[in-house]
Each structure stands twice: as structure tokens, then as C-alpha cells.
Chains A and B, each alone.
Chain A
């Protein structure tokens, strides 16, 4: 099956500091050689702690920033260096749901105007058509018709996020980047919004790149999971395989930090020491070695490539000999 999105060796470096003439300028390597592809109809989750480059990844594949290096192919077309004008027709096919439902809706517009924005920008719809499609979309995301006249500040967080989803889906895209769409919501509302996304995915045949740090949500919805650390993917596998047999020490540590809803379950907690290193000056070799309990001298030598450790299961750890503890998925 041809992938809907294919990324090869994607890099995004942000220059920081330096004087007027660019001397002493350094690069923050937010993305440093990321490759993966997304299959049509799947939910691929990207997890990692703050600063691992998840959000930059989401925004770069949507071409909100110009990649420093690498290639992005969307539905077979190379969009790596397309101009904004050339990207406009592509925008119908790829959309974004934001993390913060407070900041992502224009406070001066009504819900109807916000959801109609894509139709106005893309053009070609009469006023009546727009009204009709907005009403249809609001119903689809579980909002009432009277919400159309409200302003964002009159809605709850969950309702706002529904508006954001309606705006992203009104052009009927095939691919959606969901950038931590529920992490700003109350826990009680999170499940509703996640279920709404799943329901809409089935109904509209969406493919979703789901960016998150909540492993419970990720385990619930994903077909596959990619784990990021300091701008690189360290492990990518089917959800069940990743939870049962993680092959990278960072994945193991990340999972061990996730709460399990079973108080009788005793398991070893792997505590990572220190913070994530600065992406300005990442460690040599394997970036995780400074916090890894299995690290040895050779880990500092060169960056371990992602290699296939089992069918469809890739990990970037040069030690294939270590036994890692998974999470029991019942």
C-alpha cells in the first residue's frame, strides 16, 4: 500500500543567537533526521517528552515551516519546497487540530464564522452553501445549532475543541495532524473528544498523525506508535508490540512512568535522571546515553540508526542484547 505521507530524513534546525552577521550562531536541532511513513487509514501516534520535537514534526509535515533538509511526500506528491500558493490546494487535504482550544479560535469571531473559515479561504462556496455545510459539520462534531452564533469564550473547553475539529474537517481532508488535541482539556472531557476523533476517523476515512504525551490515550487509539527523543525517532512499532516488548531503553522508561489503573500491580519503576539534554548541544552518539541505564562507552561513538528488530518494529539502540520490561496490556 502506498503511504499517504512519507518522510525521508527530515531535519528542521532553528538558528539561535549570533550577532548581526551570523557569527557565533548555533542551531537548535528540533528535528534531526526523521524518517517514517503513514499508511492510509491508520492512526500513527508520536510520543515523547516536552522538547523532543513532536510539535515541530507536526508543523513541518504540514509545511508550516520550511524544512532544513529532507523530503516530505504527501499523497505521492513532493511538497518539501512547494510555495505557499502552490500549497493552498493541498490544504484541503491536510489539516491540523490544535492543542490549546483557547488560543486556536479567533476570539472576535462567531463559531459559524470560525468553522466557515476554510470555505471562505478556499473559495467557491455561496453563503447558503457555507451555512449548510457549517450546520452539517457542527452536528457531526456533536454541537447544537444554536452554538453557531456563540463566540469562543462562551463555550467550554470541550466545546471549543469540537469547534476546532469541525474547522479542520469541513473541507473533508484525508490527513489530520492532531497536536495534543486533548491534553489541555479536563480528564472527563478528554475521553469524549478522543472518541469523537475516532468516530469521525471511521466516518470520514481519515488518516491521523496523533501527537501526544499521554500514553493511556495513545495506547487506546493508535495503530502504531513512534517514540521521539531529542529530534529523532528512537523506536517505532505496532501499538501492541511496543507496549509488550519495547526495544529501546527510553521507550521502557517512558512506559514505566505511565500510571496503570491497577493498584495491585507491582512493577519496577525506571527513573530517568536529569532533564532532557539541550538540543543546542546534544550528546554525541546516541542522544539518550546520558540517561540510559544500559549505556556503555561505545554508545558515545556514533548515532545508532533505526534498524528492524522484528517485522515492522524499528529501534535505534545498538544493544540488541538487553531485556526490557513492557507494559501488561490486558
Chain B
């Protein structure tokens, strides 16, 4: 037995597991860390905030209409009906973030499925699916979204689905390329020779190896979804009042832009913060997860 047992001590070529190096690289990315912190604050604030502050977002304080921020009992002021801005921003954040995350999740499921099927089977099926992706990508996102939004009943569910429907194509492209490259690798053949089904090979063996670009694109998709939801709600096709979202709060604020500018500035600021934070986070993840960036 001694002849076949390698007596070499355990000396790995790459000592550190990849997750740690990725985390180290991510921590060096200051903006991404900042973005992650801001996102954490926004999410926590939106989820827990409404339980903490004393005002309900629909409570009408008729005596304090158009109260400016940082003066009086309403910390961030009130709107034209005397509703507390902070409460509305928090509830709007819940809606906006929930729509964004759900739309991201749906677009990921569609994009990964389409990309994986196209990349794994290739041939006519793959070509047909990818040309469909190209065709959908040809439409400018905003026009596609508005055209669709005009056709359906506006609401939380429909707006989420619409955003997802306009955001899955890039994921599909990324996943298709990755799967097409990975399926030629021997470990995919090994699974096949073990009798694995296509579904096992794609989702248990191949997709986990494409997780880095998928995570990055998911993060960037959240930013895109927040922005899209704001666009559509701002134009009046999205989330309908009295339910608050950052987008329809902006819509409301238009007419009071000169007399009560904080009504527009506050939701605008939150949209900007959220979108830039997710974009920075995505950039940081891309750098951290991409092995080619592995420099000291």
C-alpha cells in the first residue's frame, strides 16, 4: 500500500479557499462596502421603521399640511394632505424595494432557465431562444415597459411582472455563454457517464459554476428595477395612490416643486441612494468574484 499512497505532505497550490479571497477583495472596494451599508440601512429602515415612528403613513394631520422638514413633530415634514413624509418614505421603500427584489428574482429565474436551456442544448433550440432574446432586447426598455403598462391593470403584481419581463434578457445571455462553455468540461461528461439527467447536470453541476456573473447581474438588476418602478409610477402607470412608492411620491410632488421642494427631493434622494448603492455593490462583487482581477 505504501507504494500507492502519496507520502507527500498536504501542500495545496492555492492555499486560501476562494471565498475568503473574494471577501478580502470585496472589503477593499470602499464604494461597494458603502453601498452595502446604505442598502442595509434602507432595507432595515423600510422593514422596521414603520413600527418605530409614531405616525401612520395614511394618517392625515390636517393642521400640519406642507410642514417643512426638521421643524415640528414631523421629522421630514408633511405632504399636501399633512401625511408624514418619513412614514410615507419608509412604506414607499417597502413597496419599491419589494417590487425591485421580486422583479429581480423573477427575471433571474426566467433568464437563468432560458440561458441554461439555450446554452446546454444549443443547436436549433438554442439559436431560436437566443434570437428571441435579441428580439426583445431590440425594444428600448422604457417604451416596452410603458406600452405593456398601458395595456394591463396597474398594480403591485402586474408592475413587478412587467419589470421582470423587461430585465431577464441580459441574464439569459450571460448564462447562455457560461453554460455553453461549461458543458464541454469533463465534469459535465462525468455526470453524464454516471447517468445524470439533463436537469441534474445543468442545475447541480453547471449553474453553480456560473454563480459569480449571475450574482453580479442580479445586483445590477435590482438597481435597474428600482429605477424602472420609479419611472413607471412617476408616469402614473405603476403603483397607484394612496399606496406610497418612491416613484408616485415624486409624481405627487411635481405641482408643489417650487412651494414645497422637499416633497420631490426626499423620494428622489432615496431613489438615487438605492440605485447608486446597488450599482456600487454590483461593481464590487464583479471585481471580487472575477479571478482575473486577482492582483495583490
Contacts from A to B (Cβ < 8 Å): 59, 62, 64, 84, 87-92, 95-96, 98-100, 103-108, 117-118, 121-122, 142, 150-151, 153-156, 158-159, 164, 167, 189, 192-193, 195-196, 199
- Given contacts A151-B17, A154-B17, whether A104 and B186 have CB atoms under 8 Å apart is yes
Q: Are B194 and A199 in contact (CB under 8 A)?
A: no
Q: Are B14 and A122 in contact (CB under 8 A)?
A: no
Q: How far is the CB of B118 from chain A (nearest CB, A)?
A: 19
Q: Are A121 and B209 in contact (CB under 8 A)?
A: no
- Given contacts A108-B209, A153-B14, whether A167 and B4 have CB atoms under 8 Å apart is no
A100 CA to B187 CA, complexed, in Å: 10
Q: How far is the CB of B23 from chain A (nearest CB, A)?
A: 16
Which of chain A's residues has its CB closest to B200's CB?
A: A121
Cβ of B196 within 8 Å of any chain A Cβ, yes or no, is yes
Q: Are A192 and B6 in contact (CB under 8 A)?
A: yes
Q: Told that A84-B195, A98-B186, A122-B194 touch, could you supply 16 new A-B pairs with CB distance under 8 A? A: A59-B189, A62-B193, A84-B197, A87-B195, A88-B195, A104-B189, A108-B211, A117-B190, A118-B194, A118-B195, A121-B191, A142-B4, A142-B5, A154-B17, A156-B11, A164-B190
A255 CA to B28 CA, complexed, in Å: 58
Q: Are B195 and A91 in contact (CB under 8 A)?
A: yes
Contact of B205 among A59, A99, A106 (CB under 8 A): A106
Q: Are A117 and B6 in contact (CB under 8 A)?
A: no
Cβ of B140 within 8 Å of any chain A Cβ, yes or no, is no
Contact of A103 among B6, B8, B185, B208 (CB under 8 A): B185
Which of chain B's residues has its CB closest to A94's CB?
A: B193
Q: How far is the CB of A182 from chain B (nearest CB, A)?
A: 13
Cβ of B242 within 8 Å of any chain A Cβ, yes or no, is no
A-B pairs, 7 with minimum CB distance: A91-B195, A104-B186, A88-B195, A154-B12, A103-B186, A142-B5, A196-B4
Q: Are B192 and A192 in contact (CB under 8 A)?
A: no
List 7 interface pairs A-B (beta carbons < 8 Å), by A numbering: A64-B192, A89-B195, A103-B185, A105-B190, A107-B187, A117-B191, A192-B5
Q: How far is the CB of A229 from chain B (nearest CB, A)?
A: 25
Cβ of B3 within 8 Å of any chain A Cβ, yes or no, is yes
Which of chain B's residues has its CB closest to A88's CB?
A: B195
A108 CA to B13 CA, complexed, in Å: 16
Q: Are B13 and A64 in contact (CB under 8 A)?
A: no
A62 CA to B193 CA, complexed, in Å: 7
Q: Are B4 and A192 in contact (CB under 8 A)?
A: yes
A92 CA to B14 CA, complexed, in Å: 34
Q: How far is the CB of B194 from chain A (nearest CB, A)?
A: 5
Q: Are B194 and A98 in contact (CB under 8 A)?
A: no
A89 CA to B195 CA, complexed, in Å: 8
Contact of B190 among A104, A153, A158, A193 (CB under 8 A): A104
Q: Are B6 and A91 in contact (CB under 8 A)?
A: no
Contact of A96 among B11, B14, B193, B200 (CB under 8 A): B193
Contact of B6 among A90, A121, A159 (CB under 8 A): A159
Cβ of B293 within 8 Å of any chain A Cβ, yes or no, is no
B194: A residues at CB distance < 8 A:
91, 95, 117-118, 121-122, 167
Cβ of B135 within 8 Å of any chain A Cβ, yes or no, is no
B 1-34 to A, binary, CB cutoff 8 A, 1 in contact else 0:
1011110100111100110000000000000000
B6: A residues at CB distance < 8 A:
142, 156, 158-159, 189, 192
Which of chain B's residues has its CB closest to A87's CB?
A: B195
A105: B residues at CB distance < 8 A:
187, 190
- Given contacts A95-B193, A106-B187, A106-B205, whether A156 and B8 have CB atoms under 8 Å apart is yes
A5 CA to B125 CA, complexed, in Å: 36
Which of chain A's residues has its CB closest to B2's CB?
A: A142
Q: Are A64 and B4 in contact (CB under 8 A)?
A: no
A137 CA to B12 CA, complexed, in Å: 22
A90 CA to B194 CA, complexed, in Å: 9
Q: How far is the CB of A191 from chain B (nearest CB, A)?
A: 8
Q: How far is the CB of A97 from chain B (nearest CB, A)?
A: 9
A195: B residues at CB distance < 8 A:
3-4
Which of chain B's residues has its CB closest to A192's CB?
A: B4
B192: A residues at CB distance < 8 A:
64
B190: A residues at CB distance < 8 A:
96, 98, 104-105, 117, 164, 167
Q: How far is the CB of A160 from chain B (nearest CB, A)?
A: 11
Which of chain B's residues has its CB closest to A198's CB?
A: B4
Q: How far is the CB of A137 from chain B (nearest CB, A)?
A: 14
Q: How far is the CB of B260 from chain A (nearest CB, A)?
A: 54
B 190-219 to A, binary, CB cutoff 8 A, 1 in contact else 0:
111111110010000100110100000000
Greatest chain A CB density within 10 A among B185, B193, B196 is at B193
Which of chain A's residues has its CB closest to B209's CB?
A: A108
Q: How far is the CB of A270 from chain B (nearest CB, A)?
A: 35
B8: A residues at CB distance < 8 A:
156
B12: A residues at CB distance < 8 A:
150, 153-156
- Given contacts A156-B8, A199-B4, whether A104 and B187 have CB atoms under 8 Å apart is yes
A159 CA to B5 CA, complexed, in Å: 10
A156 CA to B12 CA, complexed, in Å: 7
Q: How far is the CB of A306 from chain B (nearest CB, A)?
A: 29
Q: How far is the CB of B91 from chain A (nearest CB, A)?
A: 40
B14: A residues at CB distance < 8 A:
153-154
